[in-house]
Amino acid sequence: MKNWRTPTVVLLCGGIILTLAMGTRQGFGLFLQPMTLDHGWSRETFAFAMALQNLIWGASQPFFGMIADRKGAGRVLVTGAALYATGLILMALSNTGWQFSLATGLFIGLAQGCTTFSIVFGVVSRVFPPERRSMALGICSAAGSFGQFAMLPYTGTLISHFGWFNTLLVLSVSAALIAPLASALVETRKAPGAVATQSVGEAVREAFGHTSFLLLTAGYFVCGFQLAFITVHFPAYLVDRGLPANIGMMALALVGLFNIFGSFASGALGAKYTKKYLLSSIYLTRSIVIALFVFMPVSEESVYLFSAAIGLLWLSTVPLTNGVIGGIFGVAYMSTLSGFVFFSHQIGSFIGVWLGGYLFDHTGSYRVVWVISIALGVFAALVNLPIQERPIARAPAPRSAG
């Protein structure tokens, strides 16, 4: 019987999973003002829960990646769907800061560790040949971007018509749809090139002993800092500057729209050009775009221009970063190694989200965090330049008898 889990089916279902998983989380910034006002929380309380979510997501990612590489991604994704739906319900029922941190930080953080890029990319990388891998990863990243574009207006409309409580319950149902989609990402046999010639421990030690892996990991920290800070605090920042609340929703939706093109383009360019130079250019351009926006007068037009520009650069680092990992180390432990790099991303996310709330509560402004984002972008541009993308040479996998 012919296997129905063709590369196209895997790519399609993996893309929809990322649309739901990434799209839902991208709308969490829209809950900041209504939830803090209704509960009487500070912005730091909300920001800490979101920062904790990013940290737990990142810390759990390598371990879920190991399970996915060794036992299959299907069961990891189903577990993530259950955690996601439960976390959203508990998020709605939270009355105190610690309850909100438990629901949003622990449950949804673990859920994202099970359902996002590292898990899906591992399967996609194994079913596509090397010459098509970068493009496939770009398409997957674009799907996550489409989720941001589609889910943000969806979430914003639900909040305005039914309130934040009912919106979280509806989103829990959407997140549960990840479970049936996961059946397409069950790996029934090892794809060509995905046979392991080393243990997972050996693969991790090899990666952390490789300078290029460490440089890539350092650069990805910056990506997390910038993106998480903007995702959570940008709508509130615009309201603070006197713009209507719907501008923030539209701004993040525009980021998602242009992110679709940026992610797809980076995947396509990564198949033709040196990935480290593309990554360096993306980080440097982000710093320039942020600086132009922060140090110029804020208007509706400047917000939309900034959103479009930063959107083109938003997840464009993802297919390139994962492409470098697969190119150097192979795809047998793709989810595991990608998970460790992503942990650095999420440490950056934790610091960016928490620091934004902390400094706002203590200074009444986000200016310092914007400046830090600019400086970190320059740092990331520089540390990506020395990366060597040559594949590691290993002994071939032993042939099975017969």
Q: What is the pLDDT of residue 133?
A: 82
pLDDT average, residue stretch 29-58:
87
- pLDDT value of position 235: 85
* Structure-block tokens of residue 57: 């997501």
Give me the pLDDT at residue 179, please: 95
**Side-chain half-sphere of 318: how many Cα atoms within 13 Å?**
31
- Separation of alpha carbons 286 and 373, rounded Å: 9
Kindly tell me if the per-residue pLDDT of 181 is higher than 90. Answer: yes
DSSP string for 173-211: HHHHTHHHHGGGG--SSPPTT---SS-HHHHHHHHHT-H
Question: Which residues, including other chains, have CB under 8 Å from residue 213's CB and lie 6 or more apart?
Answer: 207, 325, 328, 329, 337, 341
Cα Rg of the chain (Å, integer): 20
Side chain identity, residue 351: I
Residue 9, both tokens: 């089916």
Q: What is the mean pLDDT of the chain?
A: 88
pLDDT band at 135 (very low <50, low <70, confident <90, very high): confident
Per-residue pLDDT, averaged over 358-384, amounts to 93
CB 377 within 8 A of CB 160: no
398 band by pLDDT with thresholds 50, 70 and 90: low
| Both tokens assigned to 96 | 């105190």
Residue type, 390: R
Q: How confident is the model at residue 47 (pLDDT cuts 50, 70, 90)?
A: confident
What's the pLDDT score for residue 394? 63
258-283 confidence digits (pLDDT tens):
988 998 899 889 988 899 999 999 99
Length of the chain: 402
Note the pTM of the prediction, 2 decimals: 0.79
User: Which one of 89-93, 150-154, 344-348, 365-369 scores highest in mean pLDDT?
Assistant: 89-93
Q: Cα separation of 372 and 356, whole Å?
A: 11
Under 8 Å CB-to-CB from 19, ≥6 apart: which residues?
143, 144, 146, 147, 150, 151
